[in-house]
């Protein structure tokens, strides 16, 4: 019994949280701050509720903690506000820094409260200024404070306070942030790899100067250009509906999102009004506006992409921030770009945004002088893919980004992670310390029709402390205006995505696996293109993965599109008389088997359609399809007049006794040949 009691005493001692009394009392901590620190407040806060300065809403259920507020002055122009909260008796010997959002000159008190409840000593900074206005840029060093210095200096100050208060520094240090917080998370990993052992960087605005140009572009090509190019919410809702109808899969499309919108090439020109304007179409001016937003800013002289455009499936959220904002009735660019350019770059509150040159002014934005001899691009952008120093310290990075983000395009994170992978010598050398999780259907940092409620921090701590890399993070969708159906999904390390296993409830993440999905490609040929009516012939074959079960004996095949040019001639494969004959619905021919069937039009029909389908496994695996159309009229694609190839879409679905429905929806280049179209 004595031995057992001794063991219990040792264990309880090891688990006992450090108390502030082991070090410097809270009220005496000012001396632990760096020289030049001003406006110091030290406060012992009892357990319960606490209302932060500037707020009227109390934070509840807090442990007792020591609060230190101060202003750091690492340069004569710097005034960096910092708040550090340290639990008095419940410290877990770890530290967590909290990121911010937008151009925020404000503290992240809610995340601090969350960290405090978990036992962390926690810190937040105002990034060296107050409010969202970029008037602080009149002092160039404050630009550097905002870009990188404020968070680093605040982290050093926080660690010094922790060491003084507890008598020992933090055993581990973490960072959590989204948006601007994601930007600063990557900045920390790149410039100050010793600051944190683990970093969560969500939807990062890390290419800051070009993000600002992208925000301006979105406004310039839409509501700022003219009333005709503005995009009302009803039109954006219509556009998203049509995108989902064209590209959505049978499980996730009805829920309101695309799993990977990069596979969707829907052309908004399909919605062009035939005359005037109407609720079910887009005017030519609106179509052009949408195309420009998809494209993103481009240098008009060099054709170089300045910043990526937005993804299909995000349109109904564009008016959240970037499309439509006005100041005193005057259209202005959204996000931080209005302040950034008027008070930061051009220092002219009456600056005419319509004069912005996406060649010379874009370069001027990058090259403008900030503080400490740096340019704006050098002080603000976190683009360095070399994280070897962070990795060598054992650092772990979790990035995430919403695929329907209408504010910071998800392509920016995909591009950075691609460069990081190259700089880290390949995927295996990257995923052992850095992983990117793309979130289908999530807007900026939260919300949307996808599985946008998830916790990336707990998996990060397991990775850092136990060496367990996150192979999936469970995301949840609770019913909201964007999506009325509750469901869960695994969020997967890129380039994997959640795929249905073929059995069980499609709303349950347990029935999904993380896999790399390789989109199917078609092999095919269209003959007698542009020839006499009824003389054309089309043959197409492909292999495609699917999740079973399947019974082709009772399946229904719906052939919706064959060689459709999104902009131009539209349906290239037409009936024998030249009229559109798709979509059509086919049933299996006599003699069909569960895993093999022929679907065909009735004998003598023109055009004649025959589709052979064969399954390699009735419980899921691969489908082999071959399609033949004879006696058709095949018109030439308009795009062949100016290019050697043209993008064409083919789509068919199998449903009834196929769970979930199989959806072959492929757009790919077809080569333009004399009298024919052919896959490469």
Give the closest residue to 549 by CA, choosing from 680, 401, 658: 658
* Contact call for residues 256 and 244 (beta carbons, < 8 A): yes
Structure tokens at 116: 């405090």
* Contact call for residues 115 and 96 (beta carbons, < 8 A): yes
d(CA 601, CA 613): 15
Q: By CB neighbour count within 10 A (0-12 exposed, 13-18 middle, 19+ buried), where does 351 fall?
A: middle
Residue 458 CB contacts under 8 Å (≥ 6 apart), including other chains: none
Reported as type and span, the H/E element at residue 15 is: helix 2-15
What does residue 286 show for φ and ψ, rounded to 5 degrees?
A: -70, -40
d(CA 472, CA 478): 19
Q: How far is CA 283 from CA 80, 289, 569, 658, in A?
A: 49, 10, 19, 39
d(CA 212, CA 368): 14
Left (φ > 0), alpha (ψ -120 to 50) or beta: where does 549 sit? beta
| 413 in active site | no
d(CA 562, CA 333): 41
Q: What is the DSSP letter of 269?
A: G
Catalytic residue among 195, 249, 405, 663: 405
User: What are the helix and strand counts (H, E) for the chain?
Assistant: 15, 29
| 405 in active site | yes
Give the closest residue to 532 by CA, choosing from 582, 577, 568, 563: 577
Residue whose structure tokens are 């503005």: 230
| 444 in active site | yes
Alpha-helical segments (H) within 16-172: 109-117, 140-144, 150-166
Where are the strands (E) in 443-535, listed by range?
Answer: 473-477, 487-491, 497-500, 512-515, 523-527
**Side-chain half-sphere of 49: how many Cα atoms within 13 Å?**
7
d(CA 259, CA 497): 8
Give the closest residue to 421 by CA, choosing from 429, 410, 433, 409: 429
Give the closest residue to 654 by CA, choosing from 554, 507, 512, 505: 554
Catalytic residue among 289, 444, 452, 576: 444
Where are the strands (E) in 566-644, listed by range?
Answer: 570-571, 573-574, 584-586, 596-600, 608-615, 620-634
Residue whose structure tokens are 């992983």: 435
Instruction: Give the residues across from 663 on adjacent strands.
Output: 653
* Contact call for residues 679 and 673 (beta carbons, < 8 A): no
d(CA 537, CA 632): 6
Catalytic residue among 100, 179, 222, 314: 179
Q: How far is CA 523 from CA 79, 421, 520, in A?
A: 64, 32, 10
| DSSP states of 595-614 | TEEEEEPPTT-SSEEEEEEE
* Contact call for residues 638 and 661 (beta carbons, < 8 A): no
Largest Cα–Cα separation, the chain: 100
The contacts found for 506-515 with CB under 8 angstroms, 24 or more apart, are 506/251, 506/660, 509/451, 509/474, 509/475, 514/471, 514/472, 514/490
Q: By CB neighbour count within 10 A (0-12 exposed, 13-18 middle, 19+ buried), where does 202 fall?
A: buried
Give catalytic residues, as residue numbers: 179, 405, 444
């Amino acid at each position: 019994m004595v031995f057992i009691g001794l063991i219990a005493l040792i264990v309880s001692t090891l688990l006992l949280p450090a108390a502030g009394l082991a070090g410097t009392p809270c009220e005496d901590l000012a001396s632990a701050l760096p020289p030049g620190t001003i406006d110091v407040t030290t406060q012992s806060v009892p357990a319960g509720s606490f209302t932060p300065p500037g707020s009227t809403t109390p934070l509840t259920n807090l442990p007792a903690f020591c609060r230190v507020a101060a202003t750091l002055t690492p340069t004569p122009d710097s005034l960096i506000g910092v708040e550090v909260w340290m639990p008095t008796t419940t410290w877990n010997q770890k530290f967590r820094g909290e990121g911010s959002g937008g151009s925020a000159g404000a503290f992240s008190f809610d995340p601090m409260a969350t960290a405090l409840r978990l036992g962390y000593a926690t810190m937040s900074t105002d990034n060296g200024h107050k409010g969202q206005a970029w008037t602080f840029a009149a002092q160039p060093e404050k630009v550097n404070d905002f870009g990188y210095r404020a968070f680093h200096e605040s982290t050093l100050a926080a660690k010094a306070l922790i060491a003084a208060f507890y008598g020992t520094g933090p055993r581990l240090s973490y960072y959590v942030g989204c948006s601007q917080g994601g930007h600063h998370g990557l900045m920390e990993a790149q410039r100050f790899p010793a600051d944190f052992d683990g970093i969560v960087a969500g939807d990062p605005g890390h290419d800051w100067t070009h993000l600002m140009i992208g925000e301006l572009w979105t406004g310039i090509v839409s509501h700022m250009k003219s009333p005709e190019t503005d995009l009302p919410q009803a039109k954006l809702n219509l556009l998203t509906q049509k995108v989902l109808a064209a590209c959505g899969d049978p499980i996730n499309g009805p829920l309101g999102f695309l799993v990977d919108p990069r596979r969707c090439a829907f052309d908004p020109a399909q919605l062009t009004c035939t005359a005037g304007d109407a609720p079910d179409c887009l005017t030519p001016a609106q179509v052009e506006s949408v195309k420009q937003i998809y494209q993103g800013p481009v240098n008009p002289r060099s054709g170089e992409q300045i910043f990526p455009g937005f993804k299909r499936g995000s349109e109904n959220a564009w008016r959240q921030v970037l499309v439509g904002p006005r100041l005193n009735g005057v259209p202005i660019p959204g996000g931080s770009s209005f302040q950034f350019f008027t008070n930061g770059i051009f220092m002219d509150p009456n600056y005419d945004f319509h004069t912005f040159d996406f060649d010379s002014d874009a370069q001027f934005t990058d090259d403008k002088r900030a503080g400490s001899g740096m340019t704006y691009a050098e002080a603000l952008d976190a683009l360095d893919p070399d994280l070897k120093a962070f990795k060598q310290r054992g650092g772990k990075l979790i990035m995430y980004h919403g695929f329907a983000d209408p504010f910071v395009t998800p392509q920016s994170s995909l591009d950075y992670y691609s460069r990081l992978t190259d700089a880290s010598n390949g995927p295996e050398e990257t995923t052992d310390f850095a992983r990117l999780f793309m979130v289908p259907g999530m807007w900026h940092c939260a919300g949307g029709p996808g599985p946008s409620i998830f916790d990336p921090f707990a998996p990060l701590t397991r990775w850092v402390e136990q060496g367990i890399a996150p192979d999936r993070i469970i995301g949840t969708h609770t019913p909201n205006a964007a999506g009325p159906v509750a469901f869960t999904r695994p969020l997967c390390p890129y380039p994997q995505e959640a795929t249905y296993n073929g059995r069980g409830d499609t709303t349950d993440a347990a029935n999904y696996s993380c896999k790399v999905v390789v989109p199917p490609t078609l092999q095919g040929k269209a003959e007698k293109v542009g020839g006499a009516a009824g003389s054309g012939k089309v043959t197409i074959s492909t292999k495609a993965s699917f999740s079973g079960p399947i019974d082709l004996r009772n399946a229904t095949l719906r052939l919706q599109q064959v060689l459709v040019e999104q902009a131009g001639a539209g349906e290239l494969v037409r009936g024998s008389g030249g009229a559109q004959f798709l979509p059509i619905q086919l049933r299996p021919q006599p003699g069909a088997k569960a895993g093999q069937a022929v679907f065909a039009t009735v004998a003598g029909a023109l055009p004649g359609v025959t589709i052979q389908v064969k399954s390699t496994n009735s419980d899921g695996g691969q489908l082999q399809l071959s399609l033949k159309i004879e006696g058709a009229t095949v018109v030439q694609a308009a795009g062949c007049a100016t290019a050697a190839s043209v993008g064409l879409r083919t789509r068919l679905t199998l449903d009834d006794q196929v769970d979930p429905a199989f959806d072959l929806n492929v757009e790919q280049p077809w080569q333009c040949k004399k009298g024919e179209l052919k896959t490469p």
